[in-house]
Chain A
Amino acid sequence: MADETQETTNPSNEEPAKTLVRSPLRGELSRRSFFSTLAFGWATFAAASAGLLGAAGRFMFPNVLFEPPQEFKAGFPSEFAMGVDERFKATYGCWIVREPTGFFCLSTVCTHLGCTPNWLTADEKFKCPCHGSGFIMTGINIEGPAPRPLERYRIVLAEDGQILVDKNTKYQQEKGQWELDGSYLEYA
């Protein structure tokens, strides 16, 4: 479009393009240096971003972590009454449940969005205060939006006869892991 108009106004064709490009004045960017400046700018920006991301990543791995050990001894099996034991909820984030046939250890993290459900003794179920998911004593989800049962932690007997809970190993019912050794402690 521009060339056409130029041609019509310049019938003699006296190299109209040349008059449009002038060499840069002092302190002005030339066409060439524009790209190197741009590249330098982006490289600096990328380096700064990488540094920031690195620092943020480092932040995820603190030098010291104040959290309870993942493994703990919960006491002798005979000390437990039937039902849900809430003593370890605040400290270790789990419930130890005793049934007539044995023990299992439930995680206190709702499988919907991670709130901490409450054990309602009278109604015999765990009920989540966030969106109303409900779980029966075994951890199976029966109501509300939670898509899967509560997770179980590894529970075994230590050499000294105490119950040993290991939170590093989880058992998920929907994956069939509740059948595995360690997810349930037989005790009559």
Chain B
Amino acid sequence: MGELLKNAIDWAFQPTLYFAGTVGALFAVLFWRKLFSKTVVITVFFAVGTVFMLWAPSDPDFKKIITKPDNIPIVILIASVVFFTWLALRQAVDNDRAIAKGEPTLEAGLGKKKVFTWPDLVYVEFICLILFTAFLIVWSLKVQAPIEEPAATARTPNPSKAPWYFLGLQEMLVYFDPWIAGVVLPGFIIVGLMAIPYLDTNPKGNGYYTFNERPFAFSFFTAGFLLFWVSFVILGTFLRGPNWSFFGPFEYWDLHKLEPLVNVDLSTYFWNMLGQPKPLDPLVREAPGIVALLGFFLVLPPLLGKTVLKGMVKSMGVVRFNVFMHLMLWFALLPIKMILRWTINLKYIVGIPEWFFNV
């Protein structure tokens, strides 16, 4: 029974299923938000989680990965992210109900109630500070610092993991050239986040939680943060093992577990399909990928603007819409590339190593 469950969990945590599963779960939660924001749901989740955490560490491999000093914060992160997502959803659902009835939101009442900074606020802050310091002291005494072997040029630890908050970036590096995953995409993340106040001028939802008034913003933010940051951190922490292979949470970290992952460039697929040798000129060789990318970035925005997203162009204006679309397309490149890698082993859409240009 136990073994069966472990195998089932390992199976469910293979990359494609894991990713598809988290996407599906998130959309289910957002869609049936009335149901999922009930107190019962979160209680059951934490009850099951507790039982699981009592049972699962009996497995040595699971225990090892979960109690690594590096990984303990991630276990806490899972619990807190789930709780606060639930809380936000709960407040959004409550507010939506109130708004529909024409009643004031939860937060509207808060504005009227006033307390003193001193002592009411500072007192609470001070107590939190003391408790948290005590907690950190106990933690640092109980858990050894995650220090590795002395650095040596010839030995890179295997697996070699970034600090947990960078695991999302490290995961992106698996699918892209360092230039794209290390410079361009993070740049777009920062620029994109800074651009939000200029792109999104909708005053709804200012100072109160709501889903119904802005379904897209709510879902998009939740998806971006939970799927492309938190879930990558979890994946990088618990599921990546030696040689950066995937391992289920109950699986033994075997150095020699090898899935042959022969990756192929798009150009190879294309010229093989035509039954011709690859042309020597890199521009001609990579023409299919270049055309695909140009189409993606130059043709898709106006096309969508003319058809499906007509309303969006109207409400946002042409400039805002185009900036927004380009940010979205860069964002979309990540899951597209991941799925292509997992399904057809695609390495690069455009791969010109001669010029250090690989997408």
Binding site for B on A (CB under 8 A): 89-90, 93, 108, 112-113, 115-118, 120, 122-123, 127-132, 134, 142-145, 147-148, 174-175
Query: Closest CB of chain A to B116's CB: distance in Å?
Result: 42
A112 to B260, CA, bound (A): 19
Instruction: Kindly state the separation between the CA atoms of A147 and B182 in the bound complex, as whole angstroms.
Output: 14
Q: Find out whether the CB atom of A130 lies under 8 angstroms from the CB atom of B244.
A: yes
**A-B CB pair tally, cutoff 8 Å:** 87
Distance, CA A69 to CA B182, complexed state (A): 32
Q: Which residues of B contact A134 (CB under 8 A)?
A: 261
The 9 A-B residue pairs whose C-beta atoms are closest, nearest first, are: A132-B244, A90-B154, A129-B158, A148-B353, A143-B261, A174-B353, A127-B243, A116-B156, A147-B358
Task: Name the residue among A142, A143, A174 with the largest chain B CB count within 10 angstroms.
Answer: A143
Interface residues of B (CB under 8 A from A): 152-160, 170, 173-178, 181-182, 242-245, 255-256, 258, 260-263, 347-348, 351, 353-354, 356, 358
Who on chain A is nearest to B240 by CB? A132
Report B-chain residues with C-beta under 8 Å of the C-beta of A90: 152-155
Q: Is the interface of B mostly helix, strand, loop or mixed?
A: loop
Chain A interface, >50% SS class: loop
A116-B154, A147-B348 are known; give 12 further A-B pairs, CB within 8 A: A116-B153, A116-B156, A123-B256, A129-B157, A130-B156, A130-B159, A131-B173, A131-B244, A132-B245, A142-B262, A143-B261, A143-B263
Q: How far is the CB of A20 from chain B (nearest CB, A)?
A: 38
* Docked pose: A128 CA to B160 CA in angstroms: 9
User: In whole angstroms, what is the CA distance A148 to B348 when docked?
Assistant: 11
Set of chain A residues within 8 Å of B174, measured between Cβ atoms: 131-132, 144-145
| A110 (CB) vs chain B CBs: closest residue | B156
Q: How far is the CB of A121 from chain B (nearest CB, A)?
A: 10
Distance, CA A116 to CA B153, complexed state (A): 8
Given contacts A145-B174, A175-B354, contact A129 B262 (CB under 8 A): no
CA of A58 to CA of B13, assembled, Å: 51
Residue of A93, A116, A129, A134 contacting most chain B CB atoms (<10 Å):
A129
Q: Name the B residues within 8 Å of A89 (CB-CB).
A: 154
B244 and chain A: residue at smallest CB distance = A132
Rounded to whole angstroms, the CA-CA distance of A90 and B173 in the bound complex is 26
CB distance from A151 to the nearest CB of B (A): 12
> Which of chain A's residues have a CB closer than 8 A to the CB of B157?
129
A113-B182 CB under 8 A given contacts A142-B262, A142-B263: yes
For residue B358, which residues in chain A have a CB less than 8 angstroms away from its CB? 147
Residue of B at shortest CB range from A112? Answer: B178
Whether A129 touches B244, Cβ cut-off 8 Å, given contacts A144-B174, A145-B173, is yes
**Residue among A93, A108, A116, A130 having the largest count of chain B Cβ atoms under 10 Å:** A130
A180 to B155, CA, bound (A): 31
Bound Cα distance A45, B108 (Å): 50
**Shortest distance from the beta carbon of B267 to any chain A beta carbon, whole Å:** 13
Given contacts A118-B158, A143-B261, is CB(A129)–CB(B243) below 8 Å? yes
B173 touches A123 (CB 8 A): no
Q: A116-B154, A129-B243 are in contact. Are A174 and B354 (CB under 8 A)?
A: yes
**What is the chain B residue whose CB lies nearest that of A91?**
B154
Residues of A within 8 A of B256 (CB): 120, 122-123
A123 surroundings in chain B (CB, below 8 A): 256, 258
Which single residue of chain A is at the shortest CB-CB distance from B171?
A131
C-alpha spacing A148/B354, complex, angstroms: 9
A166 to B136, CA, bound (A): 52
Contacts of B356 in A (CB 8 A): 147
Cα distance A112–B263 in the bound complex, in angstroms: 14
Residue of B nearest to A118 (CB): B158
The docked-state distance in angstroms from the alpha carbon of A62 to that of B20 is 52
Q: Are B175 and A145 in contact (CB under 8 A)?
A: yes
Enumerate chain A residues within 8 angstroms of B156, measured Cβ to Cβ. 115-118, 128-130
- Residue with the highest number of chain B CB atoms closer than 10 Å, among A90, A118, A122, A145: A145
Q: Least Cβ distance of B240 to chain A in Å?
A: 8
* Minimum CB distance partner of A130 in chain B: B160
